[in-house]
Structure 1
Amino acid sequence: MRSAMSMIELVFAIVIMGIAVMSLPLILTQVQNNNAFAMQQESILAAKAKIGDILTYEWDENSYDATASHSFVLDTANGDGELNATAGTPRRVGHIDTDNRRKFFPVATQASAIGADGGDLDDVDDFDGTSNLLTVTAGEDAGTLDYIFDLNLTTTVNYVADNANYAASPLNGFALNFANAPATPTNIKVISVTVSGGDQNITLRAFTCNIGESTLLPSRPYQ
């Protein structure tokens, strides 16, 4: 039985320990990168979920008609004239002239300004300027997590300039400009959700348009 290690064994031990020590910074960096990526994905998921929720609401305060039980297309003060109702009809060019299809109100009804109804949360622009604090954790037991952080979701809703030449083929003249939102209604709204927290600052956007909806056909008995 040997009482000591050989020189070669000592050298091997020193080399292995050196490799392990040099690897520690790389391991720590990778852990930090993984945590940052996880936080980024949580932020994106939170923003997508918020936008998805907002898009379930009516396009405008005036879109829905309770008597007809569906949403109509609205007139817009600053919308592209090519998308207005054609003279003497409740439909714009491209609408199918038949029952249960998308159309304007029988009497001209204007879209409202952003937040004009006082924020009663019945249409998408009521979410303009709202903020939600979302506490995010990486698991069920917060006491054993690598990180825990809060996300702040800030929502803005604006009209987008609607100045395209829809009669052109292909369509031209359309340019999105988020910096100069029109004060009067157009046919397009943009929903922006900015997520901050956990060293994140991410903004996702979605668009929703003034197209109304088709009514549901009455059910028929099985033949």
Structure 2
Amino acid sequence: MRSAMSLIELVFTIVIMGIVVMSLPLILTQVQRNDAFAMQQEAILAAKAKIGNILTYEWDHNSYDSTASRSFVLTTVSPDTELDCNGTTFRRLGHVNADSRRKCSATGASASAIGADAGDGGNFTDIDDFNGLPPTTLVVTAGEDAGTLDYIFDLNLTTSINYAEDNATYSSNGTLNDFTFNPNNAPTTPTNIKVISVTVSGGDQNITLRAFTCNIGESMLLPSRPYQ
């Protein structure tokens, strides 16, 4: 016949069960934090991938010259005249006066306004074509895309492109002074800097990543990725 549990054994059992139950809220809190971190990293990854894709496109609709098969620095209406191109050498401050180096457009091509351009045919041909597009927010659905993209949650990606101020003091020795980069200060006229902003929402996340790209054309010695 089995003997009954003693009082001391009962006390020990209650204490041990209490310790185990007391740790459950801590475990649940840590799991919740891990889930939040995973959701955040997933949103950041989606935004980085989108920005990386946009950066493969031409800086502007007028950057690429199909006759010369290269991209040139464009004329802008930036108030900083130090960045103006020389009408004789077609170069500006910082350019190397040698063949196959970066240079300004000999035709005087200018940077265009943000948004789709005439002649695009509804296609994405340059960076600012992604501003506010697609018309409805891009949705990456976890269920249908999980096999290839491995997203856990549905994510909404919204893209915006704008110009940024480029006023500064540019010296001949390469020193840049009095420059403050402010992606939220969006001039209405073209400058030499474009800002790409991608906002990701979904899964209790609302994250915005930004990248900037400049009006620098390309060198024939180190050509950029082929025009999209």
Q: With structure 1 as the length reference, what TM-score do the two structures score?
A: 0.87
Say whether residues 1:209 and 2:214 are aligned partners.
Answer: yes
Matched to 2:86, the amino acid is T
Aligned-pair CA distance for 1:125: 0.3
Can you list the C-alpha shifts for 1:74-105, whole angstroms capped at 9, x where unaligned?
11022521111124111112211111111011
Can you list the C-alpha shifts for 1:24-79, whole angstroms capped at 9, x where unaligned?
11111111111111000000111111101100000000001112211111110225
Contact 1:80 1:187 (8 Å CA) reproduced = no
CA RMSD of aligned residues (A): 2.2
**Structure 2 residue aligned with 1:220:** none
Deviation above 4 Å: which 4+ runs of structure 1?
none
Distance 1:79 1:194 in 2: 30
Q: Which sections of structure 2, spanning at least 5 residues, go unmatched? A: 223-228
**Structure 2 residue aligned with 1:52:** 52
Distance 1:203 1:34 in 2: 21
Can you list the C-alpha shifts for 1:93-144, whole angstroms capped at 9, x where unaligned?
221111111101112110101015056311000000023111247x968xxx
**Structure 2 residue aligned with 1:14:** 14
Distance 2:183 2:206 in 1: 18
**Structure 2 residue aligned with 1:5:** 5
Query: Structure 1 stretch 60-69 or stretch 76-85: which is displaced more?
Result: 76-85
Matched to 1:176, the amino acid is F
Change (3 A) 1:140 1:205: closer
Say whether residues 1:133 and 2:136 are aligned partners.
Answer: no
Matched to 1:163, the amino acid is N
**Structure 2 residue aligned with 1:149:** 153
**Structure 1 residue aligned with 2:108:** 108
Number of residue pairs the alignment of both structures matches: 211
**Structure 2 residue aligned with 1:120:** 123
Change (3 A) 1:168 1:13: farther
Aligned-pair CA distance for 1:216: 4.2
Contact 1:135 1:151 (8 Å CA) reproduced = yes
Q: With structure 2 as the length reference, what TM-score do the two structures score?
A: 0.85
Query: Structure 1 stretch 109-118 or stretch 172-181: which is displaced more?
Result: 172-181
Distance 1:6 1:70 in 2: 89
**Structure 2 residue aligned with 1:84:** 84
**Structure 1 residue aligned with 2:226:** none
Change (3 A) 1:112 1:148: same
Distance 2:162 2:20 in 1: 55
Q: Which sections of structure 1, spanning at least 5 residues, go unmatched? A: 142-146, 218-223
Distance 1:82 1:114 in 2: 23
Contact 1:159 1:183 (8 Å CA) reproduced = yes
Say whether residues 1:26 and 2:54 are aligned partners.
Answer: no
Aligned-pair CA distance for 1:5: 2.3
Aligned-pair CA distance for 1:173: 2.1
